[in-house]
């Protein structure tokens, strides 16, 4: 999950009096070709913009509601539920025939009514659908949303990943595996090469110098 927050929205939300906040949803309903639908949980259409652009977009009223956001406490990944009430046949088709829209993107835009003409005055939460079910008793569809990395089953090592410094303990027989006479090492790739030990270089030159965010 990622979040984009605009300063104008922060100001509006902090005001003692404002006209209220709208929740707007952009839901990816097809992956190829990519197609989106635009909904709001308000009881009338809202004229705003497509998320992150100045392109006008009408958000149609729809029985959609986001639940509480569960943050990562070290034991689980960030997650949130989206519930769609009064389930129609199109939503049922999405769940039963289109893999429940799994891996499709959902963006929730929160905007103040006072800033409804400002294309950049919003917060935006980005999620990806991990699965869905239909509660026939409640007549609602429940979509489980989480981060892109979790949906794509991406795993990362628990240890740090450095691009230029070897993480192996020097002279360790199982990791470094160098068995020569040199007693020190700079832990760079060049140092490994000078010892004819590049095959055991425990760093990742290909990861670049910027952060990677899913």
SS3 95: helix
Residues 124 and 198 in one domain: no
State whether 25 and 121 are in the same domain.
Answer: yes
Query: What are the tens digits of pLDDT across the range 150-163?
Result: 777 666 666 677 88
Are 130 and 44 found together in one domain?
yes
**What residues contact residue 40 under an 8 Å CB cut-off, 6+ apart?**
22, 23, 24, 25, 46, 59, 60, 61, 62, 64
Q: 126 and 176 share a domain?
A: no
Domain carrying residue 58: 2-151
Number of domains observed in the structure of the chain: 2
CA distance 89 to 96: 10
Query: Strand, helix or coil at 126?
Result: strand
In tens, the pLDDT along 42-68 reads 999 999 999 989 999 999 999 998 888
- Please list the helix, strand and coil fractions of the chain in percent, rounded to the nearest 5, in that order: 20, 35, 50
If asked whether residues 144 and 161 sit together in one domain, one would say: no
The pTM for the full model equals: 0.64
């Amino acid at each position: 999950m990622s979040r984009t927050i605009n300063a104008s929205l922060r100001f509006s939300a902090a005001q003692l009096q404002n006209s209220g906040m709208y929740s707007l949803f952009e839901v990816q309903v097809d992956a190829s070709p990519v197609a989106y639908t635009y909904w709001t949980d308000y009881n009338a259409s809202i004229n705003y913009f497509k998320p992150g652009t100045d392109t006008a977009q009408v958000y149609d009223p729809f029985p959609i509601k986001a639940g509480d956001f569960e943050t990562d406490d070290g034991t689980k990944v960030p997650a949130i539920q989206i519930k769609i009430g009064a389930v129609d046949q199109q939503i049922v088709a999405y769940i039963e025939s289109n893999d429940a829209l799994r891996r499709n993107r959902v963006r929730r835009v929160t905007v103040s009514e006072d800033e409804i003409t400002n294309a950049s005055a919003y917060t935006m939460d980005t999620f990806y659908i991990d699965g869905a079910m239909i509660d026939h008793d409640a007549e609602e569809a429940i979509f489980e949303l989480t981060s892109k990395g979790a949906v794509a089953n991406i795993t990362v090592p628990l240890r740090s990943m450095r691009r230029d410094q070897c993480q192996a303990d020097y002279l360790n027989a199982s990791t470094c595996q160098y068995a020569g006479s040199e007693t020190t090492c700079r832990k760079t790739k060049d140092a490994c090469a000078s010892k004819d030990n590049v095959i055991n270089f425990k760093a990742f030159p290909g990861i670049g110098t910027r952060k990677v965010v899913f």
